[in-house]
Amino acid sequence: MKNNKIIVLRDGINSTFQDLGRNNFYHIGLPFSGAMDKRNYLIANKLVGNKYNEAVIEFAYQGPLIKIEDGNINFAISGDIKFNIKKNGKLINGNCYKNYNLSKNDEVDIISTNNSVYGYFAVSGGFDLKQNFGSFSTHVRSKVGANNGIKIQKDDKFFIKDFRDKHANKSLKYMNSKIEYIRILKGTNFDYFFEQSIKEFTSKEFLVTKLSDRMGMRLQGPKIKNLKETNIRSEGLIKGVIQVPADGNPIIMLSDHGTIGGYPKIGVVISADYDRLVQTPPGKKIKFELIELKEAEKLYKLYQMETENLLSQI
Amino acid sequence: MIKNISNLGDAALYCDFGNEVNKTTNIKVIKYFKKIKELKIKGINNLTPSYNKLIISFDLNLINFSEVKKKIEDINISENNLKQDQKIIEIPTCCDDEFALDIERLSSKLKLTKKEILEKYLNKEYFCYMTGFIAGMPFLGDIDKHIRLERLETPRIKVPKGAVGITEQFTNIYTFESPGGWNILGKTPIKIFNESNEKQPTLINPGDKVLFYEINKKEFIKLNEK
């Protein structure tokens, strides 16, 4: 059944299709991509009864305005988002972590994220899209992924694969954590920096600047001074790596990062804190805490258990 | 053959093959890369070979650092030569002034004429050390000692797609329009990364041999239309 269709009346700031990410292509220059905030991505899919790797619309700061052009949809929004629903001509305030049924001519207006960056719009049955390199995730820079590898545009129309309203009336009580300290492990070039700089790096606050997107997060704070070399031989990167170029301002690699880089790596954000990191908007400050690998592994198990626990409540 | 294995964050292995950047070291990296790819070890989800390092990323839900480390340490790699495709990939390149954006800078800094630079650069066999940064971008080497120069002091915000550049001992091709600081001496009209061919999207892969040959503007336009 392909008679359920939406039309995008406003595209939002950075709206793309994302899923769990793309494996096995780092070596040709395709990053992992995928939903930035994995927990919220999984919750959105579970709320509408989808498989965990179904594509959803990820948006940043402001989301799209969507109209149901034909048929019915059942949707849910996750994150910390302000949105309205226009149903049968009536305007209702939307609640995150809850699903809704909409019919032809109804609208969802995703107005803004509250003090966070990313949100997720999932529809029951999933969008009818094509995978590319084993994933729906859009990587705009290499024009790879669903929707021909580009951002969602005004007037785009998308079909829903298989509408089912049996998932209606599901909800979850969940508050996104707002703690602004981020735990890190030592990077492979930790000893390239002055002791004083390392001390400041792990105790002072850093401002998240406006030059932050799905590729990376640029920080400003005390300058991190290099005592060895400001460049290294180009080598692989992974998400969460904190590079420090010659100007002393750290850059954190995020999901769409270039796969190879030549700046020294002072640290790496632990996997358990990644979702929280990416949700920190420009203008906010973060603090780093240095921990050991064993602890990071334990914290990840805890994060995973918490996620599974939340999903099981839906 | 791996000198040291450490962790890069909690979900990746950092395999160090030594400080030198040369073909011998890089061939070891490529051998490990190919072998690990072949073994399809459960939980390993990405491999990034570079000049002298190999980064192995894994899914922390399935496996952890010490388990992956053990598996990598158990791998036996023969000292035999890398099985190389004997074929040389030939890249048509137009070096007319409109495409050779940095030829004058190269000429004055290296104290060589444009003709001399191109003579030393073109029709030589280069080795592909790695691909990446942007999709499909090959890092090739080694170029003639007399035409080696550092990057631009201020990188370009936009290097055009297809631009062929050199820096230090290396040469590369910009597979997409991208910021970059390499010295541009030409442009190729052919597609180096083909996103619609999922089985073999990259024309040039680590371990391949590559050669650049000169074409004129007319031939460039003709090839560009394909």
Q: Does residue B110 sit in the same domain as residue B24?
A: no
* Residue A87: strand pairing partners: A90
Of B62, B81, B100, which marks where a domain is finished?
B81
B216 reaches A (C-beta below 8 A): no
List CB contacts (< 8 A) between A149 and chain B: 195
- Quote the minimal CA–CA distance from B79 to chain A in Å: 23
Q: Is the pLDDT of residue B118 over 60?
A: yes
N-terminal to C-terminal alpha carbon distance within chain A: 27
Of B46, B81, B116, which marks where a domain is finished?
B81
Q: Does residue B76 sit in the same domain as residue B11?
A: yes
SS3 category, B171:
strand
- Residue A179: phi and psi, rounded to 5, are -65, 135
Q: Does residue B24 sit in the same domain as residue B72?
A: yes
Q: Does residue B199 sit in the same domain as residue B127?
A: yes
Q: State which residue of chain B sits closest to A240, comparing Cα positions.
A: B9
List CB contacts (< 8 A) between A303 and chain B: none
List CB contacts (< 8 A) between B61 and chain A: 304
- Mean pLDDT, rounded, for B188-207: 92
Asked whether the beta carbons of residue B195 and residue A149 sit closer than 8 angstroms, the reply is yes
Asked whether the beta carbons of residue A235 and residue B64 sit closer than 8 angstroms, the reply is no
Residue with the two structure tokens 């690990």: B36
pLDDT per residue over A267-309, tens digit each?
999 999 999 999 999 999 999 999 999 999 999 999 999 999 9
According to the model, what pLDDT value does residue A252 have?
A: 97
According to the model, what pLDDT value does residue B1 have?
A: 85
- Quote the minimal CA–CA distance from A193 to chain B in Å: 17
Of B81, B110, B138, which marks where a domain is finished?
B81
Q: Does residue B103 sit in the same domain as residue B142?
A: yes
Instruction: Count up the domains in chain B and report the number.
Output: 2
B26 reaches A (C-beta below 8 A): no
Q: Does residue B75 sit in the same domain as residue B101?
A: no
CATH number of domain containing B163: 2.40.100.10
pLDDT per residue over B168-191, tens digit each?
999 999 999 988 889 999 999 999
Q: Does residue B18 sit in the same domain as residue B92?
A: no
Asked whether the beta carbons of residue B53 and residue A143 sit closer than 8 angstroms, the reply is no
Q: Does residue B13 sit in the same domain as residue B97?
A: no
Which residue in the set B50, B57, B134 is minimally distant from A141, CB to CB?
Answer: B134
Q: State which residue of chain A sits closest to B64, comparing Cα positions.
A: A297
List CB contacts (< 8 A) between B10 and chain A: 185, 268, 270-271, 293, 296-297, 300
According to the model, what pLDDT value does residue A276 have?
A: 96
Q: Does residue B33 sit in the same domain as residue B76?
A: yes
B171 reaches A (C-beta below 8 A): no
Cβ of A284: how many Cβ atoms within 10 Å? 16
Q: Which of the residues B4, B5, B10, B170 would you substitute to probe the A interface, choosing the one with the greatest number of A C-beta atoms within 10 Å?
A: B10
According to the model, what pLDDT value does residue A3 have?
A: 83
Asked whether the beta carbons of residue B21 and residue A233 sit closer than 8 angstroms, the reply is yes
Instruction: Read off the tokens for A223.
Output: 């300058």
Q: State which residue of chain B sits closest to A290, comparing Cα positions.
A: B9
Q: Please answer whether residues A291 and A183 qualify as being in contact, where contact means their C-beta atoms are separated by less than 8 angstroms.
A: yes
* Local confidence pLDDT in tens for the 314 residues of chain A: 568 999 999 999 999 999 999 999 999 999 999 999 999 999 999 999 999 999 999 999 999 999 999 999 999 999 999 999 999 999 999 999 999 999 999 999 999 999 999 999 999 999 999 999 999 999 998 999 999 999 999 999 999 987 776 667 889 999 888 777 999 999 999 999 999 999 999 999 999 999 999 999 999 999 999 999 888 999 999 999 999 998 999 999 999 999 999 899 999 999 999 999 999 999 999 999 999 999 999 999 999 999 999 999 99
- Mean pLDDT, rounded, for B6-11: 98
According to the model, what pLDDT value does residue A112 have?
A: 97
Instruction: Read off the tokens for A64.
Output: 């799209």
- Quote the minimal CA–CA distance from B197 to chain A in Å: 9
Q: Does residue B113 sit in the same domain as residue B215?
A: yes
Q: State which residue of chain B sits closest to A184, comparing Cα positions.
A: B9
According to the model, what pLDDT value does residue A167 have?
A: 67
pLDDT per residue over B32-63, tens digit each?
999 999 999 999 999 999 999 999 999 999 99
B137 reaches A (C-beta below 8 A): yes
Question: Residue A248: which of A222, A281, A277 has the closest Cα?
Answer: A222
According to the model, what pLDDT value does residue A267 have?
A: 98
According to the model, what pLDDT value does residue B85 have?
A: 64
- Quote the minimal CA–CA distance from B188 to chain A in Å: 18
Task: Give the domain range for residue B58.
Answer: 4-81
B141 reaches A (C-beta below 8 A): no
Tell me which residues of chain A have a C-beta less than 8 Å from any C-beta of chain B.
Answer: 23-30, 32, 132-134, 141-144, 149, 185, 187-188, 233-238, 240-241, 258-261, 265, 268-271, 293, 296-297, 300, 304
B61 reaches A (C-beta below 8 A): yes
Q: Does residue B103 sit in the same domain as residue B130?
A: yes
CATH number of domain containing B73: 3.30.1360.40
H helix intervals, chain B: 23-39, 65-73, 103-110, 114-121, 217-224
Q: Please answer whether residues A18 and A60 qualify as being in contact, where contact means their C-beta atoms are separated by less than 8 angstroms.
A: no
Asked whether the beta carbons of residue A238 and residue B202 sit closer than 8 angstroms, the reply is no
Q: Write out the DSSP string of chain A.
A: ----EEEEEE--SS-EEE-S---S-GGGT----S-SSHHHHHHHHHHTT--TT--EEEEESB--EEEEEESEEEEEEESSEEEEEEETTEEEE--SSBEEEEETT-EEEEEEESSSSEEEEEETT-B----BTTB---BGGGTBSTGGGS---TT-EEEBS----TT-S-B---------EEEEEE-TTGGGB-HHHHHHHTTSEEEEEEEESSSEEEEESS---BSS-S----EE--TTEEE--TT---EEE-TT--SEE-S-EEEEE-GGGHHHHHTPPTT-EEEEEE--HHHHHHHHHHHHHHHHHHHHT-
Q: Which of the residues B3, B5, B8 would you substitute to probe the A interface, choosing the one with the greatest number of A C-beta atoms within 10 Å?
A: B8
pLDDT per residue over B159-173, tens digit each?
999 999 999 999 999
Q: Does residue B49 sit in the same domain as residue B103?
A: no
Asked whether the beta carbons of residue A29 and residue B10 sit closer than 8 angstroms, the reply is no
Q: How many CB pairs under 8 A join A and B?
A: 139
